[in-house]
Amino acid sequence: MSLKMIVTVKQVPDTHNIVGDAMKPDGTVNRAVLPTIFNPEDLNALEEALSIKETVGGSITVITMGPPKAVEVLKESLYRGADDVVLISDRKFAGADTLATSYALKCAIEKLGDYDLVLCGRQAIDGDTAQVGPQIAEKLGINQITGLVSVLAASKKSITIKRQVDDGFEIVRSKYPLLVTVNSTANEPRSPRAKRVMAYKNIDRKFCDESYVESYLGTDGAQPSPSILSHIREWNVESIGADALQCGLSGSPTKVKKVQNIVLTTSDVKQVPNTDVGISEFMRELMDEHIIG
Ligand SMILES: Cc1cc2nc3c(=O)[nH]c(=O)nc-3n(C[C@H](O)[C@H](O)[C@H](O)COP(=O)(O)OP(=O)(O)OC[C@H]3O[C@@H](n4cnc5c(N)ncnc54)[C@H](O)[C@@H]3O)c2cc1C
């Protein structure tokens, strides 16, 4: 048995380089004025999957739900070592909150067939909720370990993970199937490989209808493991067997009423005595107020 891993990745606006109005009057993101990047913690999730593959073996499929342009993060995943990638794209997915996003990703994961380990970034830098990973696990009905900071041991049957919690770390072992969310401190993502860039730079997406999905997967649902993919599969609401009413805006109870810029200011100055006692009392105060952990 070889380990089947799925990594969820999101293309996000580069929140450090905003030009123009980032939000539309209706409270949705004005993606047209924002440069896009690979969500940083999803790079950590992909790197973790690549390291596990190097020690245990197996395959990595990367999926993203987004507009056609999101194919860029899939190509980037191929450059870094992913075996297979799938774009989930449909106008019906537009305006999804975390509930609708996790529903669509759950349907796509089930469509992929058997899997052992799903890896997500801990958090996306645009929505910032850190809810999608845990919601996918809940909907798939599988175990989840959030906040992975390192993998202590991995085999084809189970994995032991060090995870960050509020006041320290926990070591948790789980059998598969399992979903983990990965913190930015877990690893240093590798760079794209030049040979893979050459192999995949011109790869294009291709819409796959239901019959195509079946012929691609084969009757036993087995995933092919092509050394060079000929195209990037694109699925829509129907291809992943999703209920359109649970997707996009219609499946999203969240409504963003208003977005406000808040500039934090301080009027107080605190003098800390330059003594051991003064400094340790100040440190205690910062910890009590959860300013430092
Ligand atoms: C200002 C603002 C406020 C919002 N407030 C809310 C709110 O209160 N409640 C709410 O439900 N939604 C809210 N949203 C919408 C929310 O950002 C989207 O649902 C978003 O697509 C998913 O949530 P997230 O970005 O917080 O993901 P997170 O939960 O932070 O993402 C965690 C991980 O899930 C995976 N993932 C997330 N999205 C995708 C994707 N499209 N494709 C593949 N993998 C993915 C990635 O691995 C990612 O690292 C808000 C959006 C904005 C702009």
CA 51: distance to chain centroid? 17
Asked if pLDDT for residue 217 goes beyond 50, the answer is no
Asked if pLDDT for residue 149 goes beyond 80, the answer is yes
Most confident of 68-72, 124-128, 211-215: 68-72
Mean pLDDT for 207-215 is: 58
Segment (H or E) for 214: helix 210-217
Asked if pLDDT for residue 107 goes beyond 60, the answer is yes
What is the signed CA dihedral for 278, 282, 288, 290, rounded to 10 degrees? -160
Task: Evaluate: CB of 247 within 6 angstroms of ligand 1.
Answer: no
Calculate how far, in angstroms, residue 221's C-alpha sits from the geometric centre of ligand 1. 30
pTM for the model = 0.85
Return the structure tokens found at 139: 């909907």
Mean pLDDT for 217-233 is: 62
Q: What is the pLDDT of residues 38-90, one digit of tens each?
A: 999 999 999 999 999 999 999 999 999 999 999 999 999 999 999 999 999 99
Query: Hey, where are the domains in the chain?
Result: 4-251
The answer to whether the CB of 122 falls within 8 A of the CB of 181 is yes
* Rounded distance between C-alpha atoms, residue 63 and residue 55, angstroms: 22
Calculate how far, in angstroms, residue 264's C-alpha sits from the geometric centre of ligand 1. 24
Calculate how far, in angstroms, residue 227's C-alpha sits from the geometric centre of ligand 1. 32
Residue bearing the CA closest to ligand 1, atom 18: 97
The answer to whether the CB of 124 falls within 8 A of the CB of 132 is yes
Pocket test for ligand 1, best of 97, 112, 246, 250 (most atoms within 8 A of CB): 97
Calculate how far, in angstroms, residue 129's C-alpha sits from the geometric centre of ligand 1. 6
For helices 40-56 and 71-80, angle between their N-to-C axes, nearest 10 degrees: 40
Least confident of 153-157, 197-201, 205-209, 270-274: 205-209
Q: Which fold has domain 4-251?
A: Rossmann fold (3.40.50)
* Rounded distance between C-alpha atoms, residue 163 and residue 187, angstroms: 13
